[in-house]
Amino acid sequence: MVQTLLNKILPPIAVLTCIDARLVGVLEEKLQLPPKSFYMLKTAGAAVLEESGEIMFSLLLATRVVQCRTILVIGHTDCAFAALSTGKLKHNLQQFLPEGRLEHIFSVVGDEAAITLATAERIRNSPLIPEEVAIHPLLFDLNEGSLKYLSLVRA
Ligand SMILES: [Zn+2]
């Protein structure tokens, strides 16, 4: 199903994924997108934390200036960001951030799929992104090397 989707997508497209080093090169190969046909954006956990922050501004440019008509939001298994949302490391990070900032960052708590879906929904609901842009949430399985479609945010 994912391959069928990828085959149908017309470039240019925007890809938002995690900063995880294990994805570098692997994901590009898996997507089989022609070189120079996609805009790759990366954040920890492929999460969008600010509704008008740098990532949303980049997506605004990608869709309204470069005319990307598809955004792939790609989370992955064994993601440190998802683990942080409930784990001990979260507590360790508190000391480095202003009051309340960590709670804001982890306003979406859950596994990789939940975070990816929440990100896709945030992008979908943003007035910055044209209605006609398709947003597809995907999960990359690091062990299997496979992409799974999570769900259609809006038909
Ligand atoms: Zn990750």
> Looking at the chain, how many residues does it have?
155
How far, in Å, is the centroid of ligand 1 from the Cα of 108?
14
Condensed to tens digits (0 to 9), the pLDDT of residues 30-57 reads 998 888 899 999 999 999 988 889 999 9
How far, in Å, is the centroid of ligand 1 from the Cα of 12?
24
How far, in Å, is the centroid of ligand 1 from the Cα of 117?
14
Q: Which residue has the tokens 């090397």?
A: 145
Domains of the chain, earliest start first: 2-85+108-148 (3.40.1050.10)
How far, in Å, is the centroid of ligand 1 from the Cα of 44?
6
Condensed to tens digits (0 to 9), the pLDDT of residues 70-107 reads 999 999 999 988 887 766 667 778 888 888 887 777 77
8 Å CB contact between 76 and 15: no
Sign of CA dihedral 14, 66, 128, 5: negative
> pTM for this one?
0.91
Sequence-separated (6 or more) residues with CB below 8 Å from residue 51 = 122, 126
